[in-house]
């Protein structure tokens, strides 16, 4: 996602990372009990994962996360007006880049004075499942996170 943010920054596309909470808390990154702890977790995440986008922190009670769907790894794209133009219940770089390209083309078409009217689309996208990478992320949180995920049978 950092690469996508850098690629489109010169075209008026901004990008942020909203830190909500760890989806699978463990011994190293336990359930959040204070905003100071949340800030520390977000800083460590930034440093460990190399996040270069600005990171915003949700309220400790997750109000923003709930307002935008509560999924653990969502992506949203908003028009300058604030209207949501893309929502994915899972972040996938290919899908996000495709949507950005589409909406940049809409801007170009409007500048050419094409008369465009909006309509809704629903489609099923596909992402690569990196089970090994996922488990490395779980292990980063601690053995408890791995154990509880395995016990859930997901």
- pTM: predicted TM-score of the whole model, two decimal places: 0.89
Cα angle 103, 107, 111; round to 5: 165
Q: What is the pLDDT of residue 16?
A: 96
Domain residue spans in the chain? 2-152
Q: What are phi and psi of 50, to 5 degrees?
A: 70, 35
Q: What is the pLDDT of residue 85?
A: 96
pLDDT tens digits for 86-145? Answer: 999 999 999 999 999 999 999 999 999 999 999 999 999 999 999 999 999 999 999 999
Domain 2-152 has CATH 3.40.30: yes
**What Cα–Cα distance (Å) separates residue 136 from each residue in 17, 56, 116, 130, 131?**
20, 24, 45, 10, 9
Q: What is the pLDDT of residue 153?
A: 86
What Rg do the C-alpha atoms of the chain give, in angstroms? Answer: 18
């Amino acid at each position: 996602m950092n690469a996508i943010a850098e690629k489109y920054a010169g075209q008026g596309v901004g990008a942020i990372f909203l830190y909500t909470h760890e989806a699978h808390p463990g011994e190293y990154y336990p359930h959040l009990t204070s905003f100071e702890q949340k800030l520390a977790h977000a800083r460590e995440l930034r440093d460990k994962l190399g996040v270069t986008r600005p990171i915003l922190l949700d309220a400790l009670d997750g109000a923003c996360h709930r307002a935008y769907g509560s999924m653990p790894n969502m992506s949203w794209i908003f028009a300058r007006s604030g209207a949501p133009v893309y929502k994915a219940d899972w972040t996938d770089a290919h899908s996000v880049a495709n949507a950005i390209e589409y909406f940049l083309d809409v801007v170009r078409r409007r500048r050419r004075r094409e008369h465009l009217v909006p309509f809704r689309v629903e489609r099923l996208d596909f992402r690569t499942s990196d089970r090994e990478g996922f488990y490395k992320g779980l292990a980063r949180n601690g053995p408890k996170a791995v154990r509880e995920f395995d016990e859930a049978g997901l």
